[in-house]
Structure 1
Amino acid sequence: MPETSTTPSPPRLRHPTVAQREEQGRAARERASRSAHARWKPSADRLDPVALLEAQTPARLPELVPLRYGRMLASPFAFLRGSAIVMAHDLARTPNSGITVQLCGDCHLSNFGVYASPERALLFDLNDFDETLPGPFEWDVKRLATSFVVAARSNDFSARQSRRAAQVAVLSYRETMRRFAEMRELELWYHRIEATQLLEMLDQIVSGRAAKMAKTDMAKARRKDSLQALDKLTTFVDGQRRFISDPPLLVPLSSGSHEERIREEFRTYRESLQDDRHDLLMRYRVADIARKVVGVGSVGTRAYVILLLGRDANDPLLLQVKQANHSVLEPHLAPSRYANQGQRVIAGQRLLQAASDIFLGWNTGADGNDYYWRQLRDMKGSAEVSMLGPDGLQLYAAICGGALARAHARSGDRITIAAYMGKGEAFDEAITAFAERYADQTERDHEALAAAVKEGRIVAA
């Protein structure tokens, strides 16, 4: 008799019908009603926001931590950008729909923008994934809506205008998700938001300063490539291209063991790429390395720029290397399936973005930290929030809400999410109410940071 296999069969995938998925969405309202999302009141045992920020210090370069706090002090909106850990802690104590997507994890309006696809089209999408992890879809929506209220207040808009910006972001998310719920799978997967489409929409909806600013920003983004970065960040020293010195923002590492370590890590990073991209990078040589300060919340984490040259000194490729720590969401959700945190970031980015940088990769450094790699500039650009008027901010809210819906629809069950939110405005109103209340909390937390600096508890530069 033939031997019988003892290897268990893989579990069969379940494919519920559209009706069943819609019912799952409506049933989730029993777990967390839509109106429940309006709630926000800090609990008596809420952790000190400054203590939460300080808990991240050991994983950062100590000499740069004061710069992080200095940038966060600039405004409540700057504080929001740098305090994803604080909001993650608070969101974990809010009603949970149980409907899981791949979260951005730090979904505020400045983490959207344009960038070049591999085909060199200019796309609009999410562009920051340091905190990405699977979790309840409404966490991203709440953080996005809150960011519009905080930004509007920072621009001295009225309470009605601030509320409307958040409301438009959520409305756009809900209505776009309903459209995606009707799409075929491949139709959704290939869907993307191109800059040319945005410009056409702008011409139809608005005129004057807002449309002109958008066209100017996109034109600037198209010029942001390796050649422009080469002119801005490098100079010739003894006939060789070298990064300029602008401490603490840009510090060349042109000699010593530190440089050699990063050169070795460049070789290990290449192994994370698929074969064709690995072979393409083999045509470049490392010309120089520098440490670079980036962002607001990321300040203090280890970040480097690598100058690569191809056929000659006018054939540059600049890569950015960023330290990847555990997501701030992880204490409140399931751990990442990826042991390497850089791989976690890259996998989340590929799932959420319509198209991604061909040089995305990761490695573990000799210092024990995980890193992810990407192009430093590839036609990247984002809106200058302080320059937007009320109408411009509302328009941007609609664009960001739609982009977030597309990202969530790719990574979660769009039919279930759409059914949960429904056709009415109950979800929109609840999230908007939360956003206003949490914007108040953000302003209080910003004041707490300022008080901690004044008392000498922490140092800001």
Structure 2
Amino acid sequence: MITDDRASLLEARRSLKMARSPEAYIRGTTKLFYEWLDRRTASIPGGPAIWICGDCHLGNLGALADCDGEVAVQIRDFDQTVIGNPAHDLIRLGLSLASSARDSDLPGVTTAKMLDALIAGYAAASVENGSSGPRLKQPKDIKKLLKHSVRRRWRNLAMENFQTKRPLLPRDECFWALHRNERSAVLSLCKQAELQMSLFGEEKEKDCHRQVLDAAYWVKGCSSLGRLRCAVLLRDGKHGRISLLDIKEAASATAPSASGARMPRDYAERVVAGAKALSPNLGERAVASKVVNTAVFIREITPQDLKIEVRRLSSNEIEAIARYLGGVVGHAHGRQMDDQEWHSWVAELCRGRKKEPEAPSWLWSSVVELLSIHDQAYLEHCRRYALAHH
């Protein structure tokens, strides 16, 4: 794969990927969401300043394993994480769910019920620090996801990403050759005993026996496509276990931070801090570093890590998923607050609910307005990019 013109190739791929569906476009246009937020005149509840995902759509939630192999549904992407207003995560997730409801040809009343379920699930979340997820009834799709996740092994991860059970990175449309200086820096970084100790939890340097097998540029993601991203394979010489590392460039966040918020100035350290606060299963196996003076965060991808894939759903199914995912986000937010602060925040969120069941007016009007804006922008995007490739 020719890498000299890598940036333009990746930009073209990103544009085509965003043209596949309205939901794909929403995932790739975080900037459009926050441009709308800047223009927003109607009030949105101002929550306590806590770590938020900043890009809380369906594709950024899923099954994640902790260091002991226990699996829970948590937030799985933190490119946009900041200390900000937790209501922004709810609006972003509500927009994503509403788009999925329309893709399933569901009536408009389903969207209204679904947004109410989202808020209800959020408000009902357990916020105890000791629990890994919300204590809400799991929809059948979530049960299937978790059941499938715990059964997965390395061969599943390898076949899914490399189309082979062998521990190698092919050079194809998903894996490109790194530039020489990038490859040298990545290999040197991954050989460091300190890094391996941080990622894999070895207590002693002598326990680090992992050999770097290969590294490649990883063409992956949507909104982040075009930034530095590498896949690295390691083999544990002691046990023969294969590990897959994801090295991803950290950039400045589009999501607005709360006034006076104290966050790490280093972009990668900000991402890791947000992950530790919101998603401990991921945060405990993420490390900030640098590759060729570029801030990157590194995590091991385990076979149990799976994103939520939403197929065509019935009204009851998507309402149940909205309620459960609302609980996941509520749990991630709530663990950062004390009990009094949490209950005060939930009361503020639900103040716009004139009756039950009914979504708060601020959430309903925000999602409806955003759907309209994204529909128009999506069609214009398709006209500009997709037509040229048909």
**TM-score, length basis structure 1:** 0.72
Q: Deviations over 1:410-459 (max 9, x none)?
A: 23441331232357724624312321221121111111212332687xxx
Match of 1:361 in 2: 287
Q: Deviations over 1:271-313 (max 9, x none)?
A: 8938944747722111111111222222222211110001279
Unaligned runs of 5+ in 2: 1-5
Match of 2:8 in 1: 62
Q: Deviations over 1:112-167 (max 9, x none)?
A: 11111222221111111110001112111111111111111122111111222222
Aligned 8 A contact 1:77 1:150 in 2: yes
Match of 2:384 in 1: 452
Give the distance between the partners of 1:226 and 1:334, measured in 2 at CA. Answer: 44
Match of 2:94 in 1: 145
Match of 2:373 in 1: 441
Give the distance between the partners of 2:180 and 2:151, measured in 1 at CA. Answer: 34
| Pairing 1:218–2:130 present | no
Match of 1:349 in 2: 275
Match of 1:265 in 2: 189
Match of 1:126 in 2: 75
| Pairing 1:105–2:30 present | no
Aligned 8 A contact 1:145 1:167 in 2: no
| Residue number among 431, 439, 444 corresponding to 2:363 in the alignment | 431
Match of 2:3 in 1: none
Aligned 8 A contact 2:30 2:55 in 1: yes
Higher alpha-carbon Rg: 1
**TM-score, length basis structure 2:** 0.84
Q: Deviations over 1:60-83 (max 9, x none)?
A: 833211111111111111111111
CA 1:359/1:214 → structure 2, altered by over 3 Å: closer, same or farther? closer
Give the distance between the partners of 2:111 and 2:331, measured in 1 at CA. Answer: 24
Q: Could you tell me which amino acid in structure 1 is paired with residue 368 of structure 2?
A: E
Give the distance between the partners of 2:282 and 2:157, measured in 1 at CA. Answer: 20
Match of 2:121 in 1: 172
Q: 3-state SS of the aligned residue for 1:92?
A: helix
Give the distance between the partners of 1:454 and 1:317, measured in 2 at CA. Answer: 37
CA 1:384/1:294 → structure 2, altered by over 3 Å: closer, same or farther? same
| Residue number among 229, 245, 251 corresponding to 1:303 in the alignment | 229
CA 1:295/1:374 → structure 2, altered by over 3 Å: closer, same or farther? same
Match of 2:299 in 1: 374
Aligned 8 A contact 1:271 1:278 in 2: no
Give % identity: 19
| Pairing 1:293–2:233 present | no
Q: Could you tell me which amino acid in structure 1 is paired with residue 274 of structure 2?
A: G
Q: Could you tell me which amino acid in structure 2 is paired with residue 383 of structure 1?
A: I
| Residue number among 254, 261, 264 corresponding to 1:338 in the alignment | 264
Q: 3-state SS of the aligned residue for 1:356?
A: helix
Shift of 1:317: 0.9
| Pairing 1:326–2:258 present | no
Q: 3-state SS of the aligned residue for 2:26?
A: helix
| Pairing 1:193–2:133 present | yes
Q: 3-state SS of the aligned residue for 1:123?
A: strand
Give the distance between the partners of 1:432 and 1:234, measured in 2 at CA. Answer: 42
Q: Deviations over 1:292-338 (max 9, x none)?
A: 12222222222111100012794201111011110112488667621
CA 1:232/1:82 → structure 2, altered by over 3 Å: closer, same or farther? closer
Match of 2:209 in 1: 283
Q: Could you tell me which amino acid in structure 1 is paired with residue 132 of structure 2?
A: R
Aligned 8 A contact 1:272 1:361 in 2: no
Aligned 8 A contact 2:59 2:308 in 1: yes
Shift of 1:345: 0.6
Give the distance between the partners of 2:147 and 2:200, measured in 1 at CA. Answer: 33
| Pairing 1:86–2:54 present | no
Give the distance between the partners of 1:275 and 1:354, measured in 2 at CA. Answer: 15
Aligned 8 A contact 2:74 2:279 in 1: yes
CA 1:113/1:90 → structure 2, altered by over 3 Å: closer, same or farther? same
Q: Could you tell me which amino acid in structure 1 is paired with residue 296 of structure 2?
A: Y
Aligned 8 A contact 2:287 2:298 in 1: yes
CA 1:150/1:422 → structure 2, altered by over 3 Å: closer, same or farther? closer
Q: 3-state SS of the aligned residue for 1:191?
A: coil
Match of 1:420 in 2: 348
Q: Could you tell me which amino acid in structure 2 is paired with residue 356 of structure 1?
A: L
CA 1:245/1:279 → structure 2, altered by over 3 Å: closer, same or farther? farther
Of residues 330-339 and 380-389 in structure 1, the stretch that sits farther from structure 2 once superposed is: 330-339
Q: 3-state SS of the aligned residue for 1:404?
A: helix
Q: 3-state SS of the aligned residue for 2:254?
A: coil
- Structure-to-structure mapping, 1:390-405, within 5 angstroms: 390-405=315-330
CA 1:418/1:284 → structure 2, altered by over 3 Å: closer, same or farther? same
